[in-house]
Amino acid sequence: MRTVRTLLALLLSLPLFPSSDARAGDVAVAVEDAIRLAVENNLDLQVQTFSPAITEAGIRGARGIYDTRLTALLDHRENDAQVAPGSATADRQRFFDFDAGVQRLVPTGGTASVSVNNAWFADSQGTSFSRYANPQLSFSFTQPVLQGWGREVTERGITLAQDSADVSLADWRQKAESTASAASSRFYDLYKARENLETRRASLAVARRIHQENEARVKAGVLASFQLLDSELGVLSRETDLLASERARREAADGLGVFLQRKEPGEIVPVVGPVAERIDTTEEAAIAVALRKRPELVRARIGVHSGEFSEKVSRNLALPSLSLAGTVGVTGLGKSYGEGFEDMASGKYPNWSVALNFSFPMGNSSALAELDANRLKAGQARVALRSVEESVALEVRTALRALETRYRQIEVARKGVAVAGVRFESYEKRQKLGLATTKDLLDAESQLVAAKEGLVGALADYQVAVTEFYRSTGELLDRHNMGVDGKSIASKARKGTR
């Protein structure tokens, strides 16, 4: 029996687990650094980063409606034909035509164009008209006056592309705030895991000390030997708890490292400052900030704008098509190109035309159906906006309640640690006097461990509640000085593809 006890004492004195103190190569990281690294490196957020760049390209494409269009035509034809039926004489005709022009859309929906037609003709008849050049310069403008009139209708593709870009930026910001919140939660999970590991190490040391004291008292004959089994079980139980705590620390560290996409060797060591002060705000003020800044509401308002804009455009497109077209030009004629252009430049032979073009599909079913659909979509977007506003207000109220509860829990947890510490000391004295058993003492020590872990959890949970509150109001990125705009996000996405 004595040999078994000696071996057990030697085993209990050996260090079974490495220290969790910061080792060489470990990196001290504050929560602000963790959030910054998450927003910069997290792969899920990087996927979202491409959307603003894609929609920005869509805006440039939509603005292409104002690109000037250059047209050109080169046409050469030859034709051999009899002068008269049965005649052996053939008339050989040659045509050469080179036309060029530019055309551009204007914001009112009209189209302006300038064209130069350069025609040349020759035949084999040998008359004064057998060879001539016929250049022509013309200016044209076509303007819709009902359907298609106005800048809003003309630039509807640009407007909707800009709305799409704003939505993608709001989606990115929402994802970034969620990523920052998750980074904070993972950071404090690691903080709790490391602190709890230290608490469990200290608990194991206390259990070993109690067991060694029991051995000495049993040898001295002042303690019943069965209590030695209680202390031995206490050591084994705490070794099991320590193994679980070590695993929890490693998993938390690994999870945070992967989330931050940290490739450097060494483990992250959370650096936690003093407890943040209680946030001084009111429910009304917090909700007002959230209604102004939350990305979900930004997206919903853009949806209302897009829906109402599309309804307005559809109302115009349901009108009859009526357009005014006008052309003014000048023509020249000469035996050569030079004479023809000189004649055209003199302006002796102007020409012009004015026309009205009208069309309207009987029933107009397609346009009216589109108008009705867009009207319904606009109404749907307005209802969705009200729903998101209520959800955001509820989130803010929930976050405020959690903030207040977590703050109060810190003081309760501190008192719990103090009471549990006094209780453990009392049981330790009573156990030495024989007024309490080893099991009573170990139970008191377990309650002290639970109280310490509760305090660590309360401190971490309050910090997480602060982060969640600022996420609920849409201020989380701003609080960490991480304001972004669409251009910088799009630029980051393009760099990733080069």
Per this entry, what is the length of the chain? 498
pLDDT at 307: 96
pLDDT at 61: 94
Residue where the block lists tokens 């006890």: 5
Is beta strand 321-331 parallel, antiparallel or unpaired with respect to 131-144?
antiparallel
Vertex 395: Cα angle to 392 and 397 (nearest 5): 110
- Mean pLDDT, 10 residues at a time, the chain of 498 residues: 35 35 72 90 87 90 94 84 61 83 94 91 71 89 94 94 93 92 94 95 94 88 84 93 95 92 84 78 94 94 96 94 94 84 86 93 91 96 96 96 93 95 92 87 93 94 94 91 64 52
pLDDT at 15: 35
Instruction: Report the alpha-carbon distance of residue 446 to residue 30 in Å, rounded.
Output: 31
Which of helix, strand or coil describes residue 128? coil
Instruction: Report the alpha-carbon distance of residue 280 to residue 145 in Å, rounded.
Output: 59
**How does DSSP classify residue 334?**
B
The sign of the dihedral angle between the CA atoms of 463, 467, 472, 474 is: positive
Which of helix, strand or coil describes residue 382? helix
Domains (range + CATH), the chain: 2-61+165-306+382-480+489-495 (1.20.1600.10)
